[in-house]
Amino acid sequence: MSDRIEKVSIIISKGSLEGVYPGLIMANGARAEGIEANLFFTFFGLDAVHRARHEHIKLATVGNPGLHLATMLGGLPGMSSVMTHYLDHKMAQLDIPSIPEFVEMIADTGAGLYGCKASADLFGLHKEDLIPQVRDIITVGQFYGLAAGGQIIFT
C-alpha cells in the first residue's frame, strides 16, 4: 500500500475570501503534485462559481477572530470592502490569483468542479447560473462516488 495520496475531494462551503481560498490553494497544490482533485461547492461556497458573484467575494470582517479586529469595528459600513481591497492588494504582491483566475487555472489542470444539488435547489440556481468550468451540479451521493478511494477535505 502506498503512502502517497492519489486523490482529494475538497468541499468549499463558505462564500468569503477566507472560506474559498484555502480550498483553491489545496486543489492547486494537489494538481501541481499530480494528485487528482475534485471541488464540491456547497451552500455559500457556490458563490465562488456563481457567474454573478464570483468576482465580488469579500473578506468576512464581523466575528472573524483571525483579523484581530473588534466585532464592532468589523461591522462598520464599508469595513468589509476596505479589508477585502487591502487583502487583494497583498495577494497581488505575492502573485496569488483572484478567485475567478484561480478557479479557471485549477479547472484547466483537469480538476473537477461541481456544484451541490441540494444547495443549488435551495438557492434556486441552475447550471447556467454557474461559470462554465463547473462540470455539473451533483448530489452528495454522486460526490461521494467521485471521492471514493481518496481523501475528503472540508474547508
Q: Using one digit for the tens of pLDDT, what is the confidence trace for 38-84?
A: 999 999 999 999 999 999 999 998 888 888 888 888 888 989 999 99
According to the CATH classification, is domain 7-55+98-154 in 3.90.220.20? no
User: According to the model, what pLDDT value does residue 2 have?
Assistant: 65
Strand order in the sheet with 136-138: 136-138, 112-116, 36-41, 7-12, 151-154
- Per-residue pLDDT band for 100 (boundaries 50, 70, 90) equals very high
Q: Using one digit for the tens of pLDDT, what is the confidence trace for 8-22?
A: 999 999 999 999 999
Spatial distance between the Cα atoms of 14 and 12, rounded to a whole number of angstroms: 6
